[in-house]
Amino acid sequence: MCHNKSVKYLYLMPGLAASPEIFEFLNFNKSIELIKLSWIPPKSNEKISDYALRMSKKIIHKYPYVMGVSFGGLLVQEMSRHIKFKKIIIVSSIKSNKEMPFSMIMAKKTKAYLMFPSKWINNLEDLVSFVFGKLVKRRIKLYKKYLSERDPKYLRWAINELINWNRTKFSEKIIHIHGDKDNIFPISKIKTPIIIKGGNHAMILIKSSWFNKNLPLILQDDFLRKNN
């Protein structure tokens, strides 16, 4: 694979059940090339760490940038154990299980999460609400097109790995972008994020203009130094 040093290669990982279509409104100049990743079928009882190793084989550029949304943010952090990324950006996500919302902590304790996938297979509205937040309920048909990964085996695996994610520490170098209206991962539990005012859990779609303006700045080598 030819690697153009003047181009920044940015790999994009969508969230739980979501397709790469969630990135359709991102638009940059030729100095940033977007490579959209898709979920692959999990193996039986596969841990997210092993899944991340398999996903890492899809990274074909040396030392690229990566951005993961929601559950995709967890995955790219796990992938960073196997691939050296220039920068890791997570959006509408969490950096450790200490940022997990109370509802997910309780779901883990009560094992209630085991009921989610079968419920969603019969009720797409509930799945859309879980993936994008309750605020999109009035626009179910619009958001349905972004949820291509609805295989029951995949959903069970993804929910299990999300609820039981055991990472307790995170790298201070992770760039965490989060909306102050996110009702899946409330901002009150998120450590040191870049806050998007009015951003909800679906902000990669509804706040795409913010990303189009600010991501090129975030990808600059001196961004962290300027913002610390």
Per-residue confidence (pLDDT) for residue 50, from 0 to 100: 98
Tokens of 141: 């048909």
Number of domains observed in the structure of the chain: 1
228 pLDDT more than 60? no
Per-residue confidence (pLDDT) for residue 131, from 0 to 100: 86
The sheet carrying 194-196 orders its strands as: 32-36, 8-13, 65-69, 87-91, 175-179, 194-196
Q: Which residue has the tokens 């913002």?
A: 227
Taking the C-alpha atoms of residue 125 and residue 192, their distance in angstroms, rounded to an integer, is 32
Per-residue confidence (pLDDT) for residue 4, from 0 to 100: 67
What residue type is 28 in one-letter code? F
Per-residue confidence (pLDDT) for residue 188, from 0 to 100: 96
User: Tell me: the pLDDT tens digits for 153-204?
Assistant: 999 999 999 999 999 988 889 999 999 999 999 999 999 999 999 999 999 9
Phi-psi region of 192 (alpha: psi -120 to 50; beta: other; left: phi over 0): left
The answer to whether position 88 is within a domain reads yes
User: Tell me: the pLDDT tens digits for 3-24?
Assistant: 667 899 999 999 999 999 999 9
The answer to whether position 195 is within a domain reads yes
Taking the C-alpha atoms of residue 198 and residue 213, their distance in angstroms, rounded to an integer, is 16
The answer to whether position 1 is within a domain reads no
Confidence at 224, pLDDT banded by 50, 70, 90: low
Give the pLDDT mean for 119-133.
79
The answer to whether position 42 is within a domain reads yes
User: Tell me: the pLDDT tens digits for 24-74?
Assistant: 999 998 899 999 999 999 999 999 999 999 999 999 999 999 999 999 999
Taking the C-alpha atoms of residue 125 and residue 196, their distance in angstroms, rounded to an integer, is 26
Say which CATH number the domain at 86 has.
3.40.50.1820
The answer to whether position 170 is within a domain reads yes
Taking the C-alpha atoms of residue 11 and residue 85, their distance in angstroms, rounded to an integer, is 10
Domain extent, residue 78, equals 8-226
User: What contacts 110, CB < 8 A, 6 or more positions away?
Assistant: none
The stretches of 80-222 forming alpha helices (DSSP H) are 102-110, 116-122, 124-132, 140-144, 152-163, 203-206, 208-218
pTM of this prediction?
Answer: 0.92
Per-residue confidence (pLDDT) for residue 225, from 0 to 100: 45
Give the pLDDT mean for 100-129.
83
118 pLDDT more than 90? no
The answer to whether position 123 is within a domain reads yes
Per-residue confidence (pLDDT) for residue 132, from 0 to 100: 86
Per-residue confidence (pLDDT) for residue 139, from 0 to 100: 77
Specify the pairing of strand 175-179 against strand 87-91: parallel
100 pLDDT more than 50? yes
**Residue 197: Cβ-neighbour burial (10 angstroms; 0-12, 13-18, 19+):** exposed
**Residue 199: Cβ-neighbour burial (10 angstroms; 0-12, 13-18, 19+):** buried
The answer to whether position 3 is within a domain reads no
Average pLDDT, the chain: 90
- The alpha carbons of the chain give a radius of gyration, in whole angstroms, of 17
